[in-house]
Amino acid sequence: MDVHHPHLISDCLIHIFTFLTKEDLISACSVSKDWREAAETPWLWRRMCLQRWSFCNFAVLGSEHVNHSWKRYFLRRCHLEMKMTKGQSGGYTCKSLRGHTGRVVGLVYLQGNSAELPHLWNSSATVCSASADGTVRAWNIQNGELLWCSPVQSPLTGIVSDEQREVVITADSTGLIKTWQGQTGQEVASFSTGSPHSTLLQYNVDNNWFLTIGTSQGSVCTLADSALTKKSSIMVCDSFSVNILLVSPDKKWIMAGTKDNDDLSPKVIYTESLTSPAEDEDPLCQSVPVIGCQAAVFIPTQPARLAIIHHNEHPNNKVLSVFDVSIKKTKYKLEIQVQQVESFVLKLHTRFSHIHLQAKDSNCLVLASDQTLWVYSLKGALLASFEQHTMPISSICVDSFRVVTASRDLSLRVFTWRNDRDHGLTLVSRYHLLGGSHTMSRGFTHVACDYSSIVASTEGNDGKDVLKAYSFTS
């Protein structure tokens, strides 16, 4: 290297440093001034960030009041993930959120820390819970503070949220759907379905807000905008409750089905025909060629690939089938095409237990039933299985970093994703979080996560459910 051209030395060092780990790069900073300047190069740390995470929140690196470096972002996020991976005492705080006087029927993040674009310097999160006591409550889970509580109404049966617009949507036992302003808890609008149980699905299409509702009479009703204006209604389950309701990643398809009848097939519906129905025409709908749907999920990295767990000719066996959904335009009409791409038998040992199904990416499915958690590829290869709970799994939460299972044994089991060089993506068991004592509770019933926290509900023996909030701070 030419000592008369120091920039050449610096460029060579930076190139060499691309082969170092973060620990070696930090050590290189203490060798000399030249090494420190090269090792502190923002490009190096930006490269390491993008190699480790598919997405990084560039916006938090600089603002009016603070300017963080790529190095600090990398080290802080690694430190946070280390805490979430180890789950050691002192690496998180746990708050008990009390106030409900009935069973919690659902909980959702109203304002969370996104796993794709995490904010590492301000991880405050708000969670809303709905209860059979007839109230919606919003909580700051970092400090355990109740932010607002709605007036008492009929027992609530479901809750969803739109984080983007900070809106909470609830359904009660009379079929009344209400929207709530997330910051204040003020009621915004209401709509009556006349259904004692409603399944809620909120989504946005081209910045337009929609809510699709599955009723206990078997119909699917779609509402629009903050006023809950009715757009369409279609019968899909012949008087059986619509308790499976999904939207595809490209928002072109709604999947609706029931778990209550083994002879019925789930349906896929063209979303545009629900949100912008043509006069004198029914919404465009097509049956999926399976019966006895038990669980379903759209693959998050595909436009419209649908995985369904269903019955086959053997009553004790379950089959997982994967379909691609598309639209075919002919000269005179549109036709829905549902094409099977994979199908395989699952090794589930029970016929009647509830099945939980989630998808990680284009080739990874997470299933839970009874006390077991399985990870399958879309071609049917069993990637991992875990039998660590001593009582049935009641709820699961899956994101790009981890999987959390909640169980009636009053524990949350935490797993993290790992890319193995030989076996590809797999799940690794890490630790468990305890929710209290069985003298006070019957176990966990629901769980939800954002990037830096976990919130779960425990069913109280006295009928008063409690939320447990675990916050990992960087």
As a whole number, mean pLDDT of residues 110-138 equals 86
Q: Which residue has the tokens 């989630």?
A: 358
Q: How far apart are CA 399 and CA 63, in angstroms?
A: 28
Edge-to-edge strands of the sheet including 355-361? 355-361, 364-369, 372-376, 382-386
Q: How far apart are CA 426 and CA 429, in angstroms?
A: 10
pLDDT reading at 33 higher than 80 = no
Residue from 165, 185, 187, 164 nearest 177 by CA: 187
> What is the tens place of the pLDDT at every residue in 204-214?
999 899 999 99
Q: Residue 60: its pLDDT value, please?
A: 61
pLDDT reading at 312 higher than 60 = yes
Q: What is 89-266+293-304+355-472's CATH number?
A: 2.130.10.10
Better-predicted residue by pLDDT, 469 or 278: 469
Q: What is 6-84's CATH number?
A: 1.20.1280.50
Q: How far apart are CA 301 and CA 230, in angstroms?
A: 31
Rg of the chain (C-alpha set): 25
Q: How far apart are CA 124 and CA 121, in angstroms?
A: 9
DSSP label at 62?
B
Better-predicted residue by pLDDT, 84 or 314: 84
pTM over 0.85: yes
pLDDT reading at 177 higher than 90 = yes
Residue from 411, 383, 413, 430 nearest 468 by CA: 411
What does the CA dihedral 434, 437, 440, 441 come to, rounded to 10 degrees?
Answer: 40
What are the phi and psi torsion angles at 437 (to 5°)? Answer: -115, 145
Mean pLDDT for the chain? 87
> What is the tens place of the pLDDT at every residue in 286-301?
999 999 899 999 999 9
Q: How far apart are CA 214 and CA 220, in angstroms?
A: 5
pLDDT reading at 129 higher than 80 = yes
Structure tokens at 249: 């990643």
**Domains in the chain: boundaries:** 6-84, 89-266+293-304+355-472
Residue from 122, 124, 170 nearest 150 by CA: 170
pLDDT reading at 66 higher than 60 = no
Say if residues 410 and 435 touch (Cβ distance below 8 Å).
Answer: yes
> What is the tens place of the pLDDT at every residue in 363-383?
899 999 999 999 999 999 999
Q: Residue 350: its pLDDT value, please?
A: 60
- Cβ-proximal residues to 149 (8 Å cutoff; 6+ apart), any chain: 99, 135, 136, 137, 138, 185
Least confident of 177-191, 220-234, 428-442: 428-442
Q: How far apart are CA 435 and CA 447, in angstroms?
A: 12
Query: What confidence category does residue 168 fall into, taking pLDDT thresholds of 50, 70 and 90?
Result: very high
pLDDT reading at 41 higher than 80 = no
Q: Residue 1: its pLDDT value, please?
A: 46
